[in-house]
A and B are shown apart, each in its own frame.
Chain A
Amino acid sequence: MIHCQNLTKNYRTVAGKGPFSFGRQKDSESFLAVDRISFHIASGEMIGYIGPNGAGKSTTIKMMCGILTPTSGELTVNGLVPYKNRQKNARQIGVIFGQKSQLWWDLPITSSLKLYQKMYEIPDDVYHERYMQLCDMLELDEFADRPVRTLSLGQRMRGELAAAVLHRPPVLILDEPTIGMDVVVKERIRTFLKELNSAYGTTILLTTHDMTDIEKVCARAIMINKGKKLFDGTLEALRQNSQSDSRVTVRLEKAVPPWLEARLRGLEKPKAGTYIFRLSHTDEENRLLSEVLQNNRVLDMYIAEPTLEEQVAHYLGEGEAR
């Protein structure tokens, strides 16, 4: 569905260049925002496209929309080259830029939806059917006839989602749709995306900084940093690869002897008698931990699995070191 091969984007910021300076190249700076990225997304997949700020996620997304022309490499969306067929490509993608709005500010959501109905040539009866359905899924009813400017952020985002999928695009691209949403709205958005995917096989590419979004919606993640692809695979694989530690919090009767303490990596002592061990994947450390517990009595114990967020952070940290 979406195919990239060595996709590269090099921004050229040209300081103070007007429209009439034909061909002259003066102090142009370039910035490599996406660096030879390749991946293939099959129809119906739900992909989490993740990476820290400035990684190049939005840049990639803009290329998929045809708004940006790749500097080199290949990119096709459903067989089309986006920047060459911007309008044709527009019919097959739904897009949300979380920070920007595609709704008319002073008008109710329905006015914007009717406009997009005409743009995407949706017949009236089909429109009504879809509208009812979207009303149901996103609970638009309560605010559908109020001007968008009077809506809360979460209500507006539900409207944005309706506008993005009205023409039922086979590909849905979301750049931080959950930014600034509360837990309830986030959950509704996630459910909506999953429903959309299971009902119509919509391919979904989701960018977010909230790893819970990824965990709940996506089966596969593609991670980039500084324009380069770091990881591409299932969430399971990401977990295993990241080798991030579980944390074991233990309250002990006796103190751990100093010589043992010294050998334990990353030991924390939040208060007397309480120890937080890192349960890593090396045999040596696990053996030390059992030694600690053997000559002591455990009063209380709590194991925390690493969150996806920690695992991703860990993975990125390792990427830096490499």
Chain B
Amino acid sequence: MKLMRSFFQTAYTAFASGFTYRANTALGVLERLVRISVPLFVWSALYGASGETVINGRTLGEMMIYVLISQTCTALVSADFASTIENRMRTGIIEYNFIRPIPPRMIFVGEGFGQSLYALLLTGIPAAVLAAVLIPQIGFSLSPVYLLLFITSLVLGYVVSTVFELLKGMFAFWFVNVYILNWFMDLFYVLLSGAFVPLWFYPDWLRAIAAVLPFQAAYYLPVEIFLGIRDIPGCFSALGVQLFWIVVLWILQEILWRKSVYKLTVLGG
């Protein structure tokens, strides 16, 4: 309970920190409006040019919903606290995270949560506006059961990405410069998470690779659930996959964390 209060205050502080530069916040919203609109136009153009109403089993309406919801979800998992950790390792400020009455990782995750909420707000506003305009035309409805499954899956997806980010952050304890690693991870992420191009457009072999990697569990699965692509058992197996990754990544992260703390405290950083 008391830990939760510290956690939320940490998140709140990071969230508030986002609003430092008002012009930045305004620009952020604008930038995201473009970021969501561009794929919307691209898909419309593609569908228009092909003359088909259904491509790879998906209608243009479904594609548009996909863009809206996937962009919103991406915002939620966009916190990059691995580089925050890296930065603090380099400057030694990390020491202050180790002299608090709450665990250091809780501070990292709390800050990440605040950043995510801020990004969600930035993206959420234009996404909601676009949705309000588009949904009535497309005609889309979500049953309460699917909504509930979607929310559960979204939360699990958030946990997957957070644990993954922690894992990345641990590397900062060893390599100090995680820039290259970040770059690689982002590449994988773009390619294999389904964040930019839905996985249903991929050839089978690439989809098979994506399926055995954790990236899609972070948020592609929630999007699939939202779109109603999966039946109910399919939804539960998606949740199972997410849980599986949470456990696996957590164990890896825990092992690395212990070695990292050992390095910091015993070997001396």
Write the residues of chain A forming the contact surface with B, with a CB cutoff of 8 angstroms.
9, 11-14, 17-19, 62, 65-69, 83, 86-88, 90-91, 93, 95, 97, 99-102, 104-107, 111-112, 114-115, 117-121, 147
Contacts and interface: CB of A to CB of B under 8 A. Distances in A.
Contact of A87 (B101, B256, B267): B101
Interface in B227-269: 256, 259-260, 264-268
B96 to A, nearest CB: 5
A115 B264 contact: no
A161 to B, nearest CB: 14
B98 interface: yes
5 contacts: A12-B267, A13-B268, A19-B259, A93-B99, A105-B17
Contact of A115 (B10, B91, B174): B10
Interface residues of B, number: 33
Contact of A90 (B2, B99, B171, B260): B99
B268 A114 contact: no
Given A19-B171, A19-B259, A115-B13, 15 more contacts: A13-B268, A14-B267, A66-B98, A66-B265, A67-B99, A68-B266, A87-B103, A88-B101, A97-B92, A102-B96, A106-B17, A107-B13, A107-B16, A114-B9, A115-B10
Contacts of B103: 87
Contact of A62 (B95, B100, B175, B256): B95
Main secondary structure of the interface of A (DSSP, over half): mixed
Contacts of B265: 66-69, 83
Given A68-B265, A104-B17, A19 B96 contact: no
A100 B101 contact: no
A69 B265 CA distance: 5
B9 A115 contact: yes
Nearest to B171: A19
Contact of B101 (A91, A111, A112, A147): A91
Given A107-B13, A115-B10, A147-B20, A86 B93 contact: no
Nearest to B170: A19
B6 interface: yes
A13 B17 CA distance: 36
